[in-house]
Amino acid sequence: MTKEHEIIFAGFGGQGVLSMGRLIAYAGMIEGKEVSWMPSYGPEMRGGTANCIVIVSDSRISSPIVTKFDTAILLNQPSIDKFENAVKPGGLLIYEQSTAVKPPTRTDISITTPANNIVPPTSNCFGLLIITTSPKTTKIRGQLLEKTTPKLTLNS
């Protein structure tokens, strides 16, 4: 049986939505999986809406268009409003509690609010993904960060 995981990341531009999706897509590629990363964002660089859909699969992905997700990582209220009902029954919804005016209420999915409670605010949910990824992904963390983050040069 083919195993496939469909994830949506959504929030405001500048929150790391596209970066989080890219991180998971690269992790899948490093593990030898088939991946799809489909970003969607407005013309604003920061503050506009942004989301991306990531699919990680054991076999070829027939389409990057998905309307129901195994996991949703939602970083603002508009994203909660738009995507809460798009999580498959039994799925996982992770949301940013500090930006939620009306928290998710579904009872047929797992809902958690770890973003600012688990990782430092400066790392947003990006760090959360590293903490919560599979043991296999933990082994490739160095490769993953090298491929997805800019190189820093310190001037002495």
User: pLDDT 10s digit of each residue in the chain, 156 long?
Assistant: 568 999 999 998 888 888 889 888 988 888 889 999 999 987 766 677 899 999 999 999 999 999 999 999 999 999 999 999 999 999 999 998 888 899 999 999 998 875 444 444 444 444 445 444 445 555 666 676 676 666 666 665
Token pair belonging to 128: 């959360």
Three-state SS for 104? Answer: coil
Give the angle subtended at the CA of 100 by the CAs of 113 and 120, to the nearest 5°: 50
Residue 153 lies in a domain: no
Q: Are 145 and 35 in contact (CB under 8 A)?
A: no
Residue 69 lies in a domain: yes
Say how many domains are in the chain: 1
Residue 135 lies in a domain: yes
Token pair belonging to 85: 């009902």
* Res 77: pLDDT: 93
Residue 63 lies in a domain: yes
The CATH number of residue 139's host domain is: 3.40.920.10
Q: Domain containing 41: what range?
A: 4-148
Residue 17 lies in a domain: yes
pTM reported for the whole predicted model: 0.77
Residue 142 lies in a domain: yes
First-to-final CA distance of the chain:
55
Residue 58 lies in a domain: yes
Three-state SS for 65? Answer: coil
Residue 155 lies in a domain: no
Distance CA 6, CA 83 (A): 13
Question: Where is 21: in which H helix or E strand?
Answer: helix 17-30
Helix axes 124-132 and 141-148, enclosed angle (nearest 10): 150
